[in-house]
Amino acid sequence: MKKLLFFLTALCFAVVSCTKEKTDYEGEIDTVVTEYHEFKEAYTIHSDGYEVNIEALNGTFYKGYNEIRLKITNGQTNEEISASAVTFLPVMTSADGGQSSCPHRYDLVHGTDDSYYWGYAVFTDESSSGRSWELYISFTIAGQTHTAKQDISIKEQVNKNLNMTAFVGKDDEQYFIALVAPQKPKVGEHELIAGIYRYNKPTDPPSGDFPDASQFSYTEVSGYTLQLDPRMPEPSMGNHSSENNKDLTQQNDGLYHGVVNYTMTGNWTLNFILLNQQGQILKGTIVPTDFTPGVEGVKSELHIDILF
């Protein structure tokens, strides 16, 4: 009987605390997080009489997943031009001169209405005094290849629902997981979408003119499973989870889709275990199922924190 009373007391404390914190979180989310659906021009590059217009949501590149739309027009007539072999390569230079890239679609493809070329970039770092980003773009018109270069700025991702993480798996490969949706969840079940990428280690030294795309290559991993266990790790929440969550599996768009059920607003941790095609664990640990009021919840070694 004493154990039951203690449990009910702890549960009541958690509920009261949650109500207070829930109000604070709702106030913060209303002023900080904005859902972006409109693509706007981020940069325009001039090359050999052509204009290359690069669009992104809100016209801004953020750390994490960014959908890219690119249009090519005649610089004099503003007519849209049909090009082939349109490529997109972001390169970051650090303070020591080292150069790297990030997960991206190198060969852009036609969008749904063929009025733009589609791709994405998962920027891993914000721009700073010690990190600068450049875009290298090429396209072919009437058999002639044109190139363009543009300095770009990568902003901090203030929306924690679009966080990302990078890690080395047990196979000694470098992986990246970036949340794509939902941008602004509400209480209830949501489709959780993420991109999962692997860096392709170069097998040959650089060749030709800089940049050599083979040195900055990434792959959308295929046929993996991202097991999901969402928890509220705050001590007042007891590290509790929710029902009806579904692991993320790859769909036709190349992204990984699952279901997450947020039962209340507040701090949540998406605990993951990444399995390869053979079902082997590449990263992640099982989270204890104990209800732990007053104690911060244990997190998987592979996780992403969010707040809504």
CB of 226 closer than 8 Å to CB of 4: no
In this prediction, residue 23 carries a pLDDT of 35
In this prediction, residue 79 carries a pLDDT of 93
Beta strand pairing status for 99-100 and 50-57?
A: unpaired
All structural domains of the chain: 2-32+159-307 (no CATH), 39-155 (2.60.40.1930)
Cα 1 to Cα 184: distance, rounded to the nearest angstrom: 43
**What single string gives the DSSP state of each residue in 143-172?**
TEEEEEEEEE-EE----GGG-EEEEE-TTS
> Per the structure block, which two tokens stand in for 99?
């150069």
Cα 14 to Cα 7: distance, rounded to the nearest angstrom: 10
In this prediction, residue 12 carries a pLDDT of 44
Q: What is the pLDDT along the chain (308 residues), one digit of tens a residue?
A: 444 444 444 444 444 444 334 434 344 444 467 889 999 999 999 999 999 999 999 999 999 999 999 999 998 899 999 999 999 999 999 999 999 999 999 999 998 788 899 999 999 999 999 999 999 999 999 999 999 999 999 999 999 999 999 999 999 999 999 999 999 999 999 999 999 999 999 999 999 999 999 999 999 999 999 999 999 998 888 888 999 999 999 999 999 999 999 999 999 999 999 999 999 999 999 999 888 888 888 999 999 999 87
In this prediction, residue 21 carries a pLDDT of 43
- By residue count, the chain amounts to 308
In this prediction, residue 114 carries a pLDDT of 80
83 CB burial (10 A radius; 0-12, 13-18, 19+):
buried
The alpha carbon dihedral of 244, 233, 179, 271 has a sign of negative
Cα 259 to Cα 68: distance, rounded to the nearest angstrom: 25
Which residues, listed in sequence order, are joined to residue 179 by a DSSP beta bridge?
194
CA diameter of the chain: 83
